[in-house]
Amino acid sequence: MSRSSAAGIGSVPFADGTLDPGRWTTFENVACLAAIPSSNDLARELIDLYFREEQILPPTLLAAEEQSRARGRNGREWKAPKGRGLYFTFVRRVDGHEPVTLLTVAVARWVREAIREASGLAARLKWPNDLYVERRKLGGVLAEARTQGNDSYLAVGIGINVRGSAADLGIPHATTIEQETGRSFPLAPLLQGVVDRLGRGLATPEWTREVEEWERAAVHRPGDRMRLTAGGGEIIGEYRGLDPSGFLKLETPSGELIVSSGELKEW
Ligand code: BTN
């Protein structure tokens, strides 16, 4: 297990290489671990500890080479075996001026961009923040908020399938960067590139541009039929893009509907 704090640290061993956490100035604390159950669970424990101590948790990045109980959205399991992918979570205090939903949507786009830069693979975004290659899932984002009084934190967990094949992972309908490109990418430089990109996005966000960029990278096109479950019900409509908060705009028989959260069942 290796731990580090970003400030003044040189290279840190991780998976098949080394990381340079000193480049991640957006994250004041960085922990690179060998194995944990779930970096989102660890993030939650850390946030609760800081709540109890009435201290401010600085922006923190928690990465682990494997996660035995990684969680996906909507209570699903996420397979995070050693040597196959990138699994990490960053924690950020919610600043009232930051559009939180748009941020979680933008994260997927920044991850997409870093993957494209490193491997040439142009994944597409499925609302709200999944990465797909055609109908095969490459990666996903699990954003969880935690609040005490007026203080809130956002823990954003990211999983990316990198090496081997989806069949090796035992996940039907998934894919990996290797499966799509026919090339095997080392994990450490990929993690460095993804976190570098996230750091830049968080440090100098361009929220007004973000919606347009997300729409350009989406699997969805205006007019696509969508069916989703939300709040115990079902919604059917035509995709019309995102609103300025990153919510989904749907044209339904009773007019335009803005959907803040839900699970896409058909798209
Ligand atoms: C999804 O369902 O698409 C989101 C998957 C998120 C998985 C990652 S792996 C690292 C972090 N820790 C977790 O327990 N989940 C996220």
CA–CA gap between residue 20 and residue 61 (Å, rounded): 13
- Alpha carbon dihedral 141, 142, 143, 144, in 10-degree steps, equals -170
Mean confidence (pLDDT) of the chain: 94
Q: What is the pLDDT of residue 9?
A: 62
Atom nearest to 39 CA in ligand 1: 12
Enter the tokens of residue 233: 């019900």
Enter the tokens of residue 51: 């709540």
Atom nearest to 71 CA in ligand 1: 14
Atom nearest to 129 CA in ligand 1: 3
Mean pLDDT of 6-20: 81
Q: Is the CB of 70 under 6 A from ligand 1?
A: yes
List, edge to edge, every strand of the sheet that includes 225-230.
255-259, 248-252, 233-242, 225-230, 263-266
Q: Is the CB of 125 under 6 A from ligand 1?
A: no
Instruction: Give me the percent of the chain exceeding a pLDDT of 90.
Output: 90
Residue 116: alpha-carbon gap to chain centroid: 15
3-state SS assignment for residue 226:
strand
How far, in Å, is the centroid of ligand 1 from the Cα of 253?
A: 35
What does pTM read for this prediction? Answer: 0.95
Per-residue pLDDT tens for 50-66?
A: 999 999 999 999 999 99
For residue 4, pLDDT beyond 50: no
Contact 115, 85 (CB under 8 A): no
Per-residue pLDDT tens for 148-192?
A: 999 999 999 999 999 999 999 999 899 999 999 999 999 999 999
Q: What is the pLDDT of residue 160?
A: 98
Name which residue sits closest to atom 3 of ligand 1, judged by CA. 140
